[in-house]
């Protein structure tokens, strides 16, 4: 799966990758903090999805969603938690 989604603030990529690594590690995944994006391969294997490096056009939308949804869903939950904590402090 290529990185074809662009983030609004490209300078935030490093911070988002660190957040992804920290969250997925807390969820029990084996995360290489220098390449946290590779956690998707562990998730795919866990769910029986044939994800490989490079082109994965054979995957269905449902399969791709199971991989990305696991990662993105956990990231969104954590960002909401962080925002709520910041609001409570003010």
Nearest in space to 49 (alpha carbons), one of 63, 30, 65: 63
Position 25 in a domain: yes
Position 1 in a domain: no
CB 58, CB 31: distance < 8 Å: no
Position 2 in a domain: no
Number of domains in the chain: 1
- pLDDT category of residue 18 using cuts at 50, 70 and 90: very high
> How high is the pLDDT of residue 81?
95
Look up the domain containing 69 and give its range. Answer: 11-89
Question: DSSP per residue over 12-25, as a string?
Answer: GHHHHHHHHHHHHH
Q: Is the pLDDT of residue 3 over 60?
A: no
d(CA 16, CA 66): 20
Position 45 in a domain: yes
* pTM of full prediction above 0.85: no
d(CA 84, CA 17): 21
Nearest in space to 17 (alpha carbons), one of 40, 50, 42, 1: 40
Give the mean model confidence (pLDDT) for residues 73-78. Answer: 94
Position 4 in a domain: no
Position 24 in a domain: yes
Residue written as tokens 């300078």?
11
């Amino acid at each position: 799966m290529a990185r074809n989604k662009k983030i609004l603030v490209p300078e935030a990529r490093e911070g988002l990758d660190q957040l992804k690594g920290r969250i997925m590690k807390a969820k029990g995944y084996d995360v290489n903090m220098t390449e946290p994006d590779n956690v998707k391969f562990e998730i795919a294997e866990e769910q029986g999805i044939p994800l490989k490096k490079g082109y994965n056009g054979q995957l269905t939308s449902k399969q791709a969603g199971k991989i990305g949804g696991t990662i993105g869903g956990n990231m969104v939950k954590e960002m909401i938690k962080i925002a709520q904590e910041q609001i409570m402090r003010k």
